[in-house]
Amino acid sequence: MVPASAQAMAVRTGSGATLEAGSGCKHGATPVTFWAWAPGYDQVVSAFNSSHPDICVTMDDVGTANVEYTKLSAALKAGTGFPDVAEIEYLELPTLEVTHSLVNLVPYGIDKYKSQMVPAAWAAVTEGAAVYAMPGDIGPMGFYYNSQLLGKYKISPPSTWAQFATDAATLHKDDPSAYLANFDPEDLEWLLALMQAYGAFPFNYTGGKSVTIDFTGSAEMAFAKYWDGLLSSHLVNTEPDFSATFWDDLDSSTDASWLMAAWGPGYMAPNMKKTVGAWRAAPLPQVTAGGTTEGSWGGSTAAVIAGTKHPAQAAAFAEYFFGNMTAWKLHADKIGQAFPGWKPLLDSTSFGDSTIPLSGSSHPQQVFAKEAQTIAIAHWPPIMEYALTEAGTAFANVVKGTGTMADAFQSFQKTLTSYATSEGLTVKS
């Protein structure tokens, strides 16, 4: 599933109504409840019920991301009213792991799926010898660019961040109304995906009460100073991601590219009118020429909630949900638009050779599928809800032009460290 930053686009706030995916189950089937919000998930629930007549799954959309997590937390504290299985984003899993709210799926045989999953996705659901969710979609990052605009100024997709800066200066000099890309640091999930690809991911967590938070390390400060240089020279645009102006800038050739995840074209498509067919995919620039480190933005899992009365049946559903071709053809169709972390589809010729109107006759999925294999491992901390809430305040002055990324990183380090400590965590940096 796309991250919370994109959910305003999807307009899926959750009505609290039960979807009819659980209808038609046979009498006596074991009931399993599933909380989720992503488009197309009900199709997979129906497919599961049809092929597993002894289990009856009912899906309930109680709200998107943090709305669901808040209700889940309240239900767990009350000891009643929680689902058997829930859609949980990768970055939220540790918050539930640290409170022992998830079922370890290893006893139910989940390890057999390890070789079928992209390494970064599998690592994100694993803590020591335990596996706390079935990994689902991912968001490998790429450089998605307007080939007509870059071609006009004889600019090729930059292979390094140094070249990106040079090209940004060239383009803006040749056309002062145009930018090579947009930069919105208030979108923390997007920012962290770029940092991950830069080799500057600031977190590490492997369970227990110790967490690493490091926005002031050498790689992190190098990342901050790099973007400070582009911002101070006004070589990148700074519109809010997914805003009307953001889309207009992409379609009017104001912004020549979007540093974005593989699911991005699906969100661009309804907003592009003038530039359909011009967009091409390339790998993200690298710190060092020839590098292959990538980041991932977004993605969800199917996790079994501790306290379920039917752990075996819930585990069977979670594994099916993201572990077979029938399910994945539904997840990746025009309704779901999910990018697979499941290698049998990801590596298939039919997936790689697919085309979309935005990219003409080119094959963007081939680029993103290759990037998916080298996503840097990211171990999210159990404080991401707070971090996402505070990001707007932390980076507001950067967007306004009255503060720097380096200063924001210093301040954010203090804010997150203070919060983590107040939650009983020991912070390393």
- The overall pTM is greater than 0.95: no
Q: Verify that 275 and 316 share a domain, yes or no.
A: no
Q: Verify that 46 and 165 share a domain, yes or no.
A: no
Q: Which helix (H) or strand (E) holds 426?
A: strand 426-428
Eight-state DSSP code of residue 100: T
- Mean pLDDT, contiguous 10-residue spans, the chain (429 residues): 50 39 75 96 96 96 95 97 98 96 98 97 96 98 98 97 98 97 97 98 95 98 98 97 97 98 95 98 97 96 98 98 97 92 96 96 97 96 96 95 97 98 96
Q: What is the CA 271 to chain-centroid distance, rounded?
A: 21
In degrees, rounded to 5, the angle at the alpha carbon of residue 50 between the alpha carbons of residues 37 and 59 is: 20
At 123 the pLDDT is 97
Q: Verify that 213 and 160 share a domain, yes or no.
A: yes
Q: Count the helix, strand and coil residues of the chain and give each as a percent rounded to the nearest 5.
A: 45, 15, 40
- Alpha-carbon gap, residue 7 to 345, rounded angstroms: 25
Contacts of 32 by beta carbon, 8 Å cutoff, 6+ apart: 55, 56, 57, 58, 84, 85, 310, 313, 314, 317
Is 360 inside a domain boundary? no
At 26 the pLDDT is 82
At 22 the pLDDT is 54
Residue 264, helix vs strand vs coil: helix
Is 49 inside a domain boundary? yes
At 3 the pLDDT is 66
Residue 248 backbone phi and psi in degrees, to 5: -60, -40
Helix axes 405-422, 384-400, angle to 10 degrees: 160
Residue 134, helix vs strand vs coil: strand
Q: Verify that 290 and 311 share a domain, yes or no.
A: no
> Are 183 and 236 a contacting pair, CB within 8 Å?
yes
Structure tokens at 21: 């995916």
Kindly report the length of the chain: 429
> Are 385 and 420 a contacting pair, CB within 8 Å?
no
CATH number at residue 314: 3.40.190.10
At 8 the pLDDT is 39
At 16 the pLDDT is 42
Q: Verify that 163 and 284 share a domain, yes or no.
A: yes
Q: How many domains does the chain have?
A: 2
Structural domain of residue 36, as residue ranges?
4-138+297-346
> Are 292 and 174 a contacting pair, CB within 8 Å?
no
Q: Verify that 221 and 254 share a domain, yes or no.
A: yes
Look at residues 346, 367, 385 and tell me which one is the last residue of a structural domain. 346
Q: Where are the alpha helices (DSSP H) in 60-174?
A: 66-78, 93-97, 119-124, 147-152, 161-174
At 25 the pLDDT is 78
Please, which residues bridge with residue 296 across strands? 140
Residue 58, helix vs strand vs coil: strand
